[in-house]
Structure 1
């Protein structure tokens, strides 16, 4: 069974597939640390799955707002013009929790919290917590991962 293992402590995401060597990617999780509460800015823990894959075929650096492409491609000039944006780029793997009361339902629902694995500008450091709760990856890594991960893939965040 294909699965993704997200280590908050190691700031890494590992893709495991039967019969193949694991692939490990650097990531960035929440600056506020782990946590499940709505509006906490924390990365939720526990069992999840990929609920939706968004952005197939989009250009590297495509900008998304509300899971919809804006038609923009990220550049330093665009970033300077919109310094308040939390950049969601290239692709989105939207996660839903699998554990009622922990990361599913009520004020701990990962899907309602809009928790994604998504692209971030290459200028953003990985390996250190800096996100608003999501799991950030550089675009080239995310494109590779996106093409290897179907909807329904299990994701364990620890």
Structure 2
């Protein structure tokens, strides 16, 4: 035996890899990016306030009112009992955003796109469309909101916006929910009150003092 060749690779033996190949490195980088994305900081810059009494939603950037949208909350009333069709009150947050880049009118069933697109006010049609902001309750009075699938979402029944017509969710016109969806991030605070917006949003007295970087037109319908 030649001691100078001790430990040498025998002829025909497969080569060992001292370093990961490029595909493995790319895989690890992708997994790291996905992990970082899932740990993104919650949106603490914005706030959403919904008035069931006025059927309006205010979008706030810090203390500036960016927009006020007409909405539609439950026609059955207010509350959060399991199996009910009520709109919950109190402090919640956006737990998930669903529908990135979906065309207006895209139909969702169980939060998945069906491939169908429904035009506004299509006769006999009332699916969830366009975008979904899935809400999670933060208080005992709205603890069931997430499992009850309470959303802020688009509706084809745009003629009913401004009236209490939903089955518990907060409905918006497709153009409005797209705008709202594009501005807010997950974790954004949502407060639902059975009171006028002005009672819950003090800055409404100076509502036309908009944020300098306002990404949305001031909407009041």
TM-score between both structures, scaled by the size of structure 2:
0.64
For 1:122 and 1:102, the matched residues in 2 are separated by 29
Q: Is contact 2:99-2:130 (8 Å) kept?
A: yes
Residue of structure 2 in register with 1:35 after alignment: 79
Higher helix share: 2
Kindly name which structure, 1 or 2, has the bigger radius of gyration based on alpha carbons.
2
Higher strand share: 1
Residue of structure 1 in register with 2:141 after alignment: 102
Q: Is contact 1:122-1:139 (8 Å) kept?
A: no
For 2:158 and 2:178, the matched residues in 1 are separated by 17
For 1:67 and 1:21, the matched residues in 2 are separated by 30
5+ residue gaps, structure 1, are: none
For 1:116 and 1:102, the matched residues in 2 are separated by 16
State the aligned residue count.
149
Residue of structure 1 in register with 2:58 after alignment: 14
Residue of structure 1 in register with 2:147 after alignment: 112
For 1:21 and 1:40, the matched residues in 2 are separated by 32
Residue of structure 1 in register with 2:130 after alignment: 90
User: Offset at 1:18?
Assistant: 2.1
5+ residue gaps, structure 2, are: 1-44, 194-221
Residue of structure 1 in register with 2:189 after alignment: 154
For 1:22 and 1:36, the matched residues in 2 are separated by 29
For 2:92 and 2:63, the matched residues in 1 are separated by 23
- Per-residue Cα deviation, 1:91-130 (whole angstroms, up to 9, x for no partner): 000000001x3111xxxx1000000000011543111100
Q: Is contact 2:79-2:142 (8 Å) kept?
A: no
Quick one: higher RCO (CA 8 Å, sep 6+), 1 or 2? 1
Q: Hey, which bits of structure 1, 4+ residues long, moved more than 6 A?
A: none
For 1:51 and 1:62, the matched residues in 2 are separated by 21
Shift in CA distance, 3/29, structure 1 to aligned 2, threshold 3 Å? same
For 1:130 and 1:49, the matched residues in 2 are separated by 22
